[in-house]
């Protein structure tokens, strides 16, 4: 296996980690104003992700850094073409971070309500925008022969991409609700279970519509050779099983299968794109691939050595963090940090 393919797989693994971890993170933020009926309950919800949310976001930064190092032409095209969307996402994430840090600075109800909705907005908007971005990657967009996209934001907000955004938001909401049923106690967990099933219904309906559209509008599931059909089928099975597990109160297994749905869906996208990374809707020969968009062989060799040293360290450290904060969070003021 050549290093170009190795780095394509490594970038995929980083996005899998990001969507898995930040997915339930976003879901918790989306559910915050609805599951917490008073200030103590909302603080309890926040404390389930308080110690880890910023670590989860590092996966996005790492994935972007890996993309820059291994496929710089992809990084340049993607981050310039989606510049306005990324700025909106960045503003939302800043607002979200401020909400976590500033919410508890004053006891005023208006102050805390403002930051609760800031956390909600800063969770929902990135989830939607990631769905829009991934859908455009699947369908392709107007990349010119010079590897640049000049269309601006509006063409990216097409109906197919917007449906992809809704799919991401609903899946992450379900993912976050499943996480809360395992991480929180008392009545909030019961409400989280109901939210998990409701969001599962929405996610299932939207996902079926999106996958049907994907089958006819893209070649992600049908192109010769490696495609996303098998992981798509497995993701669909996992999603259906998740609904049954939620309904039968098997919350631990529901979180696992819900997580597996997110993982398999990410694999579907990357498998369907390979060996392309960015698809040109103007001319297939103008697409950016693991060959024409990659760094030099020497660069790939050096960054492979660096990744082999530091990636296991990061994984062990983050695993240890989750182990330390593995206990359920109780709605008691003396136990709440945030």
pLDDT tens-place string over residues 109-138: 999 999 999 999 999 999 999 999 999 999
pTM: 0.94
Residues of the chain with pLDDT under 70: 1, 334
pLDDT value at position 235?
A: 96
Distance CA 22, CA 42 (A): 19
Q: How many residues does the chain have?
A: 338
* Contact (CB, 8 A) for 211 and 236: yes
Q: How many Å apart are CA 128 and CA 214, to the nearest integer?
A: 18
Cα distances (angstroms) measured from residue 91 to each of 50, 56, 188: 20, 17, 30
Residues 85-116 have pLDDT tens digits of 999 999 999 999 999 999 988 888 999 999 99
Q: Are 60 and 18 in contact (CB under 8 A)?
A: yes
What is the pLDDT at residue 311?
86
């Amino acid at each position: 296996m050549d290093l170009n393919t190795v780095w394509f797989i490594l970038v995929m693994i980083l996005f899998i980690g990001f969507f898995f971890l930040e997915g339930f993170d976003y879901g918790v933020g989306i559910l915050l104003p609805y599951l917490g009926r008073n200030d103590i309950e909302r603080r309890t919800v926040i404390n389930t992700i308080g110690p880890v949310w910023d670590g989860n976001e590092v996966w996005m930064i790492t994935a972007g850094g890996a993309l820059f190092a291994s496929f710089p032409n992809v990084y340049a095209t993607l981050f310039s073409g989606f510049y306005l969307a990324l700025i909106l996402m960045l503003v939302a994430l800043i607002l979200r971070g401020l909400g976590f840090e500033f919410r508890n600075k004053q006891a005023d109800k208006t102050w805390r309500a403002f930051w609760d909705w800031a956390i909600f907005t800063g969770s929902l908007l990135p989830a939607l925008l990631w769905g829009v971005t991934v859908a455009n990657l699947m369908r392709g967009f107007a990349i010119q022969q010079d590897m640049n996209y000049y269309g601006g934001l509006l063409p990216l907000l097409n109906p197919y991409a917007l449906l992809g955004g809704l799919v991401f938001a609903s899946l992450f909401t379900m993912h976050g609700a499943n996480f809360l049923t395992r991480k929180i106690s008392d009545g909030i967990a019961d409400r989280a279970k109901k939210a998990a099933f409701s969001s599962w219904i929405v996610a299932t309906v939207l996902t079926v519509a999106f996958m049907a559209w994907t089958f006819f509008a893209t070649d992600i599931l049908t192109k010769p050779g490696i495609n996303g059909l098998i992981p798509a089928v497995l993701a669909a099975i996992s999603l259906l099983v998740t609904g049954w597990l939620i309904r039968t109160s098997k919350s631990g297994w529901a979180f696992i299968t819900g997580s597996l749905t997110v993982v398999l869906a990410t694999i579907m996208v990357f498998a369907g794109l390979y060996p392309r990374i960015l698809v040109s809707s103007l001319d297939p020969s103008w697409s950016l691939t693991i060959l024409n968009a990659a760094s030099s062989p020497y660069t790939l060799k050096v960054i492979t050595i660096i990744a082999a040293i530091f990636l296991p360290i990061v994984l062990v450290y983050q695993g240890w963090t989750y182990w330390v904060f593995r206990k359920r969070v109780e709605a008691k003021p003396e136990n709440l940090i945030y």
